[in-house]
Amino acid sequence: MKLLCHSTAAVLALASCAIAQDRPKELRLGLIGLDTSHVIAFTSRFNEKDGKNHVPGGTVIAAFKGGSPDIESSASRVDGYTRTLVEKFGVTLYEDIGEMCKHIDAVLLTSVDGRPHLVQAKAVIAAGKPLFIDKPLAGSLKDAVEIFRLAREAKVPCFSSSSLRWYPGVVDVAKADLGELRAAISYGPAPAEPHHPSLFWYGIHPTESLFTVMGPGCQSVVATDSADTIVVTGSWSGGRIGTLHGIRGGKRSYKVIAFGTKAIAEQSSGGDYTPMLREIITFFNTGKPPVSPELTLELYAFMEAADESVRQGGKPVSIAELLKKNGWVK
């Protein structure tokens, strides 16, 4: 009887060990740039294990403060968010990104200002840590191209996206049975920030929704704008048309609508950061980005081409030529 008990115990112990080995480890996460409300929203979902929106698989334990004194929304908020992370969540601050990377498994680059992203990303890539870059990917298309080039060269997993890509309502439209997709319209807030291409700052959100539905293949862009509105029309392969209506003044809301040969699908619900954070944890564990660099750069080229078209009085701007001009080689 004792022999049977010992054998059973041994089998259970081995099974428990196997389950533990199969279970993904709790990742140690680091943040770069504490000047956005995203750092509190992200950290609470990772670290508050009993929260209703808890995202398992990672804990934020370290951060690099950052901040941009010439952007008011950064300078006025970075100290408060930093204090919350330290006092409420016990996050350790580091003055050097490379040193922080010695103590973590993966990085979320959250600086609200896209301009320092290239320099900050370089330090993470040099350390070989998987990297998620929050919007905007960079302060220019040229910098965005360089980030992905460096990551590819170093074989470091890297991706960037707006959270709207995983809003249930956007996903429903993207997956709807429409027959053949012919066109889509996405609208949403697009206030500009003078240090960035006009759509990078906030127009990235409705642009991400548009590309979630349309997919890759945008060939050229035509844009017109006013004080309150920017309208960007993209010509996709196969004769498809994607339109972005960026709202700069007046009532602001989000919606994407897709037009097919059999049906029309309209976004009917919103969402939050939780689905994107789940994707990020999966990405950190697998090294496989849920959004390819090629698609993300096409999306950012779309936004930068909009400004160029406006500067040229509404002339079409080629996406392929703009990417080539900024150094992207597939």
Helices assigned H by DSSP within 102-200:
117-127, 141-154, 168-175
pLDDT of residue 24: 59
Q: Which residue has the higher pLDDT, 24 or 110?
A: 110
Q: Between vectors from CA 285 to CA 93 and to CA 136, what angle results, nearest 5°?
A: 60
Residue with tokens 């533990």: 20
Query: What's the fold here for domain 25-163?
Result: Rossmann fold (3.40.50)
pLDDT of residue 25: 83
Of the pLDDT bands very low, low, confident and very high (cuts 50, 70, 90), residue 12 is very low
Structure confidence by residue, pLDDT tens digits, 223-263: 999 999 999 999 999 999 999 999 999 999 999 999 999 99
Query: What's the fold here for domain 164-325?
Result: Dihydrodipicolinate Reductase; domain 2 (3.30.360)
Indicate whether 17 pLDDT > 80: no
Distances (CA, A) of 163 to 42, 112, 128, 133: 11, 14, 25, 12
pLDDT of residue 330: 74
Q: Which residue has the higher pLDDT, 81 or 23?
A: 81
Please give the single-letter amino acid code of residue 76: S
Q: Which residue has the higher pLDDT, 250 or 5?
A: 250
Domain residues of the chain, as ranges? Answer: 25-163, 164-325
Mean pLDDT across 255-280: 97
Mean pLDDT across 53-61: 98
Of the pLDDT bands very low, low, confident and very high (cuts 50, 70, 90), residue 52 is very high
Indicate whether 117 pLDDT > 70: yes
Indicate whether 32 pLDDT > 60: yes
pLDDT of residue 8: 47
Residues paired with 266 in a beta bridge? 257
Give the strand pairing for 106-109 and 27-32: parallel
Indicate whether 326 pLDDT > 70: yes
Residue 91 CA to residue 102 CA, distance in Å, equals: 15
Please give the single-letter amino acid code of residue 295: L
Mean pLDDT across 191-212: 97
